[in-house]
Chains A and B, each alone.
Chain A
Amino acid sequence: MKNKVEVKQVTKLFGTRKKEAISKLIEGKSKEEILKSTGVTVGVNQASFDVKPGEIFVIMGLSGSGKSTLIRLINRLIEPTSGEILIDGQNIVTMNQKELLNTRRKKLAMVFQKFALFSHRTVLENVAYGLEVQGYDKEERLKRAQESINVVGLGGYENQYPDQLSGGMQQRVGLARALANDSDILLMDEAFSALDPLIRKDMQDELLQLQEKLNKTIIFITHDLDEALKLGDRIAIMKDGEIVQIGTSEQIMKEPADDYVSTFVQDVDRSKVFVAENVMLKPDAIATWKDGPRVAIRKMKEKGISSIFVMGKDQTLKGLLTIDNAVQAVNEDRWVEDYLTTEYPTTAPDTPLTELIQIASESKYPIAVVDQEKLKGIIVRVSILSGLVLGKENVAVEEEKEVNVS
């Protein structure tokens, strides 16, 4: 298949003594050396990559790595100093103004980190903007804008103004505006970075769903490796303006090209980094010894769980009451400690997840996180797995949903 976008040896320098700096770059001098000797800042250093049709290509790097500059070189919001950028085989760098406008209108659409919506226009007029500048008549452009508003699930909001919408909805407008142009290539510059974690996750999921239907070629910039791994068919990792590695998520996780990449990847191996405390749920489904079996049953029913931890005086953990034992206690009308089982596993708050996986797979009961005989939290199998996949921030938010699963 032919490549949709080809970036060949593209360099962007900021400063006046560019010629000198370029020859030094080719000699392999570092960014710092060049800045010191010539006063030229290296934005992007001889970056090359290809993007295939229908692919999500993620460019990931920390701030200052040149990733935002790189994406702006692709649609020439920033003029490259040297190199070639082929869009459908045509070099955008050498295009004249008219060809450039046409390419931007027909082939490249962009979504911005801070949404960059036109605050004086309604949602509908924002989305129709790309078609408006192309000279579509009003009826046609509003119709197509409405379609793409529906695609991103903003139907009913078309006459609102951007500042009346939440961040997540504003970025949907940004996405709809990019989709309305019907261009094959989407440039997404940290499109979800300004959103809070839960909304960000939703938007990522939705982008993936949309992508299945629309099959665009997406170049996605992010500083978040989790996002990169989730979205990217292939990922390019940037450092100091250079692309240090390009590969699938598997390749990058398994064979990091250098120390820089492997530091990133280490963060992802959460089982080593995360401990019990990070993934445990707050023990809100607990009964006290005074409650008796009937109250305990009601609490289990409320939460939809089949066993409940029972606390004695001073918040100390007495044992686990299963629903069967509780029913038995009610039938026999007795309430003694014999009904509580102590077969449940316990663990300290600082136990790493790797060990917990083992414990959880061997026990049918939730793990009690105990510190000085007091119950700190409960870990069910789901919270370990979600902790591995989603990371710390999401576990806290998902707690509410998952407490019922045990």
Chain B
Amino acid sequence: MNYFHFPLEKWTNTFVDDFLLPIFGLLFDLLSTYIGSFIGLVINFLTWIPPEIITITIVILAWRIAGKGVAIFSLLGFLYLGSVGLWDLGMQTLAIVLVATLFSIIVGIPVGILSAKYSAVDKAVRPILDFMQTLPSFVYLIPAILLFGLGGVPAVISTFIFATPPCVRLTALGIRQVPTEVIEAAKAFGSTSSQMLFKVQLPLAVPTIMAGINQTIMLALSMAVIASMIGAPGLGNEVLSGISRVNVGQGLVGGLGIVVLAIMLDRITQGINEKTKRGERTT
């Protein structure tokens, strides 16, 4: 099938080396500094708070939001993280996940709103999302290193790329799902389009958007090990070093830590979602 030579590799490298880096290098450096210090701030904050206080806060939160079972699980989970000596690593992973999720939400929800409202945006965004979700994540680790160096920043960026699509998709879905008659009613009473968005469409889409955020958090956690390959701090490192030393125990200990965080975050965010649905009814 080798009818002609397609020098994609060379072109890409030329593009990155001769165009992206010299011209936007400074911008990326700046970006990297800001994001880096933000991540540092969150990590420092989480590791500065005494573990006991975090545990108590989360357990109480889990109890109120998601019930007794999740609260007990959270308590056991935190005890586990502490007892295997992974507390700080766990908090680092949590920080990276939270920062990446925050970026995903900041970008994902507005893009979701736009693609629900304008079919042109939808048409443009859809293939990009497909691309983001299906391209093997290792592939964009390379430019991430090139542009942002090693460490937390490229990890957050590549996690962001991997985890944003469900946030966009489910925001758009939630808004599109609002029944036509309800939209007509809002229009018939003279709503402007921003009144329509903020008073009708977004509130009705909240449960679906929350489901999207939940998915985003889960995907972000699933990137933990891969992100550690480009120097992200956290539990992923433990797994990675377990792999390189063929240390089954170390790998398991780190891996279980990720599972514990994942289940906790999943149940609590799902609980928030249930609460927003039910909470309206009881208050």
A: which residues have CB within 8 A of B? 72, 75, 77, 101-102, 104-105, 108-110, 112-120, 129-130, 132-134, 161, 164, 177, 181, 187
Number of interface residues of B (CB under 8 A): 20
Task: Provide the bound-state CA to CA distance between A109 and B187, in Å.
Answer: 10
Interface string of B186-219 (1 = CB under 8 A from A): 1111111001000110011010000000000000
Interface residues of B in 44-95 (CB under 8 A from A): none
Q: Are A105 and B200 in contact (CB under 8 A)?
A: no
Stretch at the interface among B132-140, B176-184, B239-247: B176-184
Task: Provide the bound-state CA to CA distance between A187 and B179, in Å.
Answer: 19
Residues of A within 8 A of B130 (CB): none
Q: Are A134 and B190 in contact (CB under 8 A)?
A: yes
Residues of B within 8 A of A133 (CB): 189-192, 195, 199
Residues of B within 8 A of A164 (CB): 281
Q: List 6 A-B contacts (CB under 8 A).
A: A104-B188, A105-B190, A110-B184, A120-B280, A133-B189, A161-B280
Q: Are A116 and B190 in contact (CB under 8 A)?
A: no
Task: Provide the bound-state CA to CA distance between A72 and B183, in Å.
Answer: 13
Task: Say whether, besides A116-B182, A118-B182, A77 and B189 are in contact (CB < 8 Å).
Answer: no
Closest 10 CB pairs of A and B: A105-B190, A116-B181, A104-B190, A116-B185, A110-B188, A130-B189, A120-B203, A101-B190, A133-B191, A116-B182
Task: Say whether, besides A120-B204, A120-B280, A108 and B199 are in contact (CB < 8 Å).
Answer: no
Tell me how far the C-beta of A150 lies from the nearest C-beta in chain B, rounded to whole angstroms. 20
Write the chain B residue with the least CB distance to A125. Answer: B199
Residues of A within 8 A of B181 (CB): 112-116
Task: Provide the bound-state CA to CA distance between A187 and B195, in Å.
Answer: 22
Task: Say whether, besides A116-B179, A116-B182, A75 and B204 are in contact (CB < 8 Å).
Answer: no
Q: Are A110 and B204 in contact (CB under 8 A)?
A: no
Most A CB atoms within 10 A — which of B182, B185, B192, B195? B185
Residues of A within 8 A of B179 (CB): 114, 116
Q: Are A75 and B203 in contact (CB under 8 A)?
A: no
Write the chain A residue with the least CB distance to B195. Answer: A133
For the A-B complex with A116-B179, A118-B182 known, give 8 more contacts whose Cβ atoms are closer than 8 Å. A104-B190, A112-B184, A117-B185, A118-B185, A118-B204, A120-B206, A133-B190, A177-B185
Q: Are B182 and A130 in contact (CB under 8 A)?
A: no
Contact of B188 among A108, A113, A119, A161 (CB under 8 A): A108
Write the chain B residue with the least CB distance to A130. Answer: B189
Write the chain B residue with the least CB distance to A104. Answer: B190
Tell me how far the C-beta of A401 lies from the nearest C-beta in chain B, rounded to whole angstroms. 35
Q: Are A116 and B200 in contact (CB under 8 A)?
A: no
Write the chain B residue with the least CB distance to A131. Answer: B189
Q: Are B190 and A130 in contact (CB under 8 A)?
A: yes
Task: Say whether, besides A120-B203, A120-B204, A133-B195, A181 and B184 are in contact (CB < 8 Å).
Answer: no
Residues of B within 8 A of A177 (CB): 185, 189
Q: Are B199 and A104 in contact (CB under 8 A)?
A: no
Write the chain B residue with the least CB distance to A107. Answer: B190
Residues of B within 8 A of A118 (CB): 182, 185-186, 200, 203-204
Task: Provide the bound-state CA to CA distance between A109 and B189, in Å.
Answer: 6
Most A CB atoms within 10 A — which of B187, B206, B280, B281? B187
Write the chain A residue with the least CB distance to B207. Answer: A120
Interface residues of B in 158-186 (CB under 8 A from A): 179, 181-182, 184-186
Task: Provide the bound-state CA to CA distance between A15 and B251, in Å.
Answer: 63
Task: Provide the bound-state CA to CA distance between A115 and B189, in Å.
Answer: 14
Task: Provide the bound-state CA to CA distance between A129 and B200, in Å.
Answer: 10
Contact of A181 among B189, B200, B206, B281 (CB under 8 A): B189
Residues of A within 8 A of B200 (CB): 118
Task: Provide the bound-state CA to CA distance between A187 and B188, in Å.
Answer: 10
Tell me how far the C-beta of B262 lies from the nearest C-beta in chain A, rounded to whole angstroms. 30
Write the chain A residue with the least CB distance to B188. Answer: A110
Residues of A within 8 A of B184 (CB): 72, 77, 110, 112, 116
Q: Are B280 and A110 in contact (CB under 8 A)?
A: no
Task: Provide the bound-state CA to CA distance between A44 and B217, in Å.
Answer: 50
Task: Say whether, besides A112-B181, A119-B204, A161-B280, A132 and B199 are in contact (CB < 8 Å).
Answer: yes
Tell me how far the C-beta of B177 lies from the nearest C-beta in chain A, rounded to whole angstroms. 12
Residues of A within 8 A of B203 (CB): 118, 120
Tell me how far the C-beta of B209 lies from the nearest C-beta in chain A, rounded to whole angstroms. 13
Tell me how far the C-beta of A78 lies from the nearest C-beta in chain B, rounded to whole angstroms. 9
Tell me how far the C-beta of B39 lies from the nearest C-beta in chain A, rounded to whole angstroms. 35
Tell me how far the C-beta of A128 lies from the nearest C-beta in chain B, rounded to whole angstroms. 10
Task: Provide the bound-state CA to CA distance between A200 and B226, in Å.
Answer: 63
Residues of B within 8 A of A120 (CB): 203-204, 206, 280
Tell me how far the C-beta of B200 lies from the nearest C-beta in chain A, rounded to whole angstroms. 6
Write the chain B residue with the least CB distance to A97. Answer: B192
